[in-house]
Amino acid sequence: MPAGTSSEFDLIDRYFKRPAPSALLGVGDDAAIVSPSPGMQLLMSTDMLVAGTHFFDDTDPEALGWKTLAVNVSDIAAMGATPRWALLAMALPVADEAWIAAFARGFFDCARTFGVELIGGDTTRGPMNFCVTLFGEAAAGTALMRSGANIGDDIWVSGNPGWAALGLAHLQGRCVLEGAQQTECLLALHKPQPRVALGLALQGLATAAIDVSDGFLADLGHILDASGVSANIHVDCLPLPETGAKLSADLVRDSMLAGGDDYELAFTVPPGYRDRVEELSRQLRLALTRVGSVVSRGSETIRLVGADGRPVTVKRFGYDHFR
């Protein structure tokens, strides 16, 4: 069928109606019905991706479909919970079937990877915008929150914070990435891997967790605020990307500390569990790096320290839509 001639309901049936075996009622009625598993609590989260703000108009639709769901899965991962059911509300300027088919491929690829079922949504004409609401489950009382960090805890971060921001800088012509480095950073930007297995394994180990969507320092700041504590961060401990000589040290540092869109987890763990976190890193084949510690509330919430023990200052902590 040529672009623009399908009805809203054709599009939903063809591209978004998939079996949802764990739901009592999925796509097709006025509302979906699910039963949480016995003893489990429901967690709910929603996140919106807006053209021009979160992605470029010419972004590959399959990658965009993946990322639309992945950023929501990441929020459930940060709570140490299991993602289960999603609602997808979308506005599209035109019914371009090839584009929608590719978007749906990416979306369901992510859904399969993380065990999510799409059970409903909304489809309207308008400026391109995708909003997912995701429901997850955790055994009662086990979800990880931002508010549990204690003085003395270690601060850890997963993966390679900064790669997505470097990928974005490359696309915007602010730096030139080459070879494997370009591939890795663009993959981090377009196909983030929410850390669901890590979040689940951190239950009982971590005292607080958050996913890094707006920048490592900005998001760590949310844990510190919620927990009423401060942090010392050793800047040289952050995992340096394997960059070629051409990148400016300032750009690399800013990307690592304040770059958004990584969807890694930042978390706090009592120092007695260091071995267990290191063991977890081997099991999951995922870098987990200890970058600092929680200290009592001082005049600064985050104190950055360089390799020489001297204070380090930075221009920004992360991304804020209204600043």
Instruction: Give the interface with ligand ADP as residue ranges (CB under 6 A).
Output: 12, 16, 27-30, 88, 90, 118, 120-123
Of the pair 43, 118, the CB lying nearest ligand ADP is at: 118
Of the pair 7, 299, the CB lying nearest ligand ADP is at: 7
Q: Smallest distance, Å, CB 261 to ligand ADP?
A: 24
Q: Smallest distance, Å, CB 30 to ligand ADP?
A: 4
**Helix H or strand E segment including 58:** none
Task: Yes or no: say if 49 and 42 are a contact pair by the CB < 8 Å rule.
Answer: no
Of the pair 124, 150, the CB lying nearest ligand ADP is at: 124
- 275 touches which of ligand ADP, Mg ion, none (CB within 5 to 8 A by kind)? none
203-207: long-range pairs with CB below 8 Å, 24+: 203/80, 203/138, 203/142, 203/144, 204/142, 205/269, 205/273, 205/276, 205/277, 205/280, 206/80, 206/144, 206/148, 206/267, 206/268, 206/269, 207/148, 207/149, 207/150, 207/153, 207/268, 207/269, 207/270
Q: Smallest distance, Å, CB 65 to ligand ADP?
A: 11
Q: Smallest distance, Å, CB 18 to ligand ADP?
A: 9
Assess 275 for contact with Mg ion (CB under 5 A).
no
Of the pair 50, 284, the CB lying nearest ligand ADP is at: 50
Of the pair 27, 168, the CB lying nearest Mg ion is at: 27
State CA 226 to chain mean position distance: 19
Assess 29 for contact with Mg ion (CB under 5 A).
no
For residues 93, 95, 97 and 102, what is the CA-based torsion angle, rounded to 10 degrees?
30
Q: 151: which 2 tokens?
A: 């003085």
**Helix H or strand E segment including 233:** strand 230-234
- 236 touches which of ligand ADP, Mg ion, none (CB within 5 to 8 A by kind)? none
> What DSSP string runs through 247-269?
S-HHHHHHHHHH-----EEEEEE
User: What is the amino acid identity at position 69?
Assistant: L
Beta pairing, strands 288-295 & 230-234 = antiparallel
Beta pairing, strands 230-234 & 302-305 = parallel
Edge-to-edge strand ranges of the sheet holding 288-295: 208-212, 264-269, 154-158, 288-295, 230-234, 302-305
Q: Smallest distance, Å, CB 29 to Mg ion?
A: 8
- 209 touches which of Mg ion, ligand ADP, none (CB within 5 to 8 A by kind)? none
When CB distances to Mg ion are compared, the closest residue is: 30
- 29 touches which of ligand ADP, Mg ion, none (CB within 5 to 8 A by kind)? ligand ADP
Reported residue count of the chain is 323
Assess 30 for contact with Mg ion (CB under 5 A).
yes
Of the pair 26, 259, the CB lying nearest Mg ion is at: 26
Q: Smallest distance, Å, CB 302 to ligand ADP?
A: 40
Identify residues 94-123 at the interface with Mg ion (CB under 5 A). none
Of the pair 16, 114, the CB lying nearest ligand ADP is at: 16
Edge-to-edge strand ranges of the sheet holding 129-139: 40-50, 129-139, 82-92, 117-125
- 52 touches which of ligand ADP, Mg ion, none (CB within 5 to 8 A by kind)? none
- 16 touches which of ligand ADP, Mg ion, none (CB within 5 to 8 A by kind)? ligand ADP
Q: Smallest distance, Å, CB 108 to ligand ADP?
A: 11
What's the DSSP call for residue 29? B
Q: Smallest distance, Å, CB 70 to ligand ADP?
A: 16
- How far apart, in whole angstroms, are the C-alpha atoms of residue 115 and residue 33? 17
Applying CB under 5 A, which residues contact Mg ion?
30
